[in-house]
Structure 1
């Protein structure tokens, strides 16, 4: 189990859709955490027909002050696959509804990072896929990026996106983030592997343009298994190779943080 952070450098290349597609198709028990300080999209999009009763990241602010994140997290999660045999295997923490709420999380991102890292312990552990949004947003969740076992930078293969991504990669390097890989979305002026060579960062996956599936993942509706979901499912193996390689490197350098188990009430 691992903490995997997704982010973007500029525009809306599809980081949230990519994170959701991975959550729905990967084989491990997974929690999708919307940690975009600019606000989450799940509540008004994919989950718009689900009664949330205010559940989400914003409700955990008080828990951070009371040091009760480990106990209170489970009451804020939404089951994305509540059917028989799949219940509690794919969960989501809806994001902020107002970017102004991000200011109250500045001191809490580190607590969340520590909590998410701890969720891998035990026989029923979870991967956490943290959608961290654009790196230029106010109050970015830098502790999550620094603690992640792997960071996936999502971009379009266009010149503006490449230039912004180069700056973002330099920032991630200064932060000391874990292994960073690229996920391209759609077609553009540059082949994905040429782009990876230019940015000197490994390519994890090239996701296709699949408007039908993307609309469902963005706005809700009847789910169908299109090309996007099939491609997202194939990302699991290369991402885990990144995770394992990064853990070996961090252990060798003494950079692996302590993981402390937290109580689960589910």
Structure 2
């Protein structure tokens, strides 16, 4: 049986140019099967050498073989909606996989408790992962008295880590999503040298980063579009904050109520 294009792509990490090609193929499978490599490059908005490298990456012996594959696939493939719907469908599959993973919640609850006990709690993320780190830090700060979000690198990061450790930090939460920045691995190494335990939140349970982490939480990252979708990672992040709230108990509830009182007095939010 011929492997689907989605299955072929799932085994490779694509560059932004290659993702544009994949996105065009997903949206126009029948048209693409009739195009030359130059035409495909033009329609996808990439260079012709990018198409050649894309075809080689997938294991085809030249563009002619790849076009035959596209023709066979287009003839057999059922209609599955447009490329945006296909991307959402893929995210739903990743969320379902995360749901199964969280069926045993003991580990997540244990990690939530360890984050509550670290005062201050350090949260770290570089490049694209900085957004996830900031989101987690914002939520965690509602139930934890001292959350420090770090997005620097190099010696500045080392300064902040050492200071947090002197202040009592015991755990650092590191967000590291593809493409993995070198700074993320450096951060894990620095944390270990300081005696900080690290909780790595990433896209897969085993990678170049995981040997340097004490704990790994993973959720799939989507590569159907030009840029990654972090829907499942976001859901995992919120679940970890929920585990922290469970561990903090009455203290978390008190902090949440205090914030709501403050928000009401300052009229921070528009009425529903």
Pairwise same-fold verdict (TM > 0.5): no
Which structure is larger by alpha-carbon Rg, 1 or 2?
Answer: 2
TM range (shorter): 0.3 to 0.5
Q: What is the TM-score of this pair, normalised by structure 2?
A: 0.35
TM-score by length of 1: 0.35
| Highest RCO, 1 vs 2 (Cα 8 Å, sep ≥ 6) | 1
Q: Which has the higher helix share?
A: 2
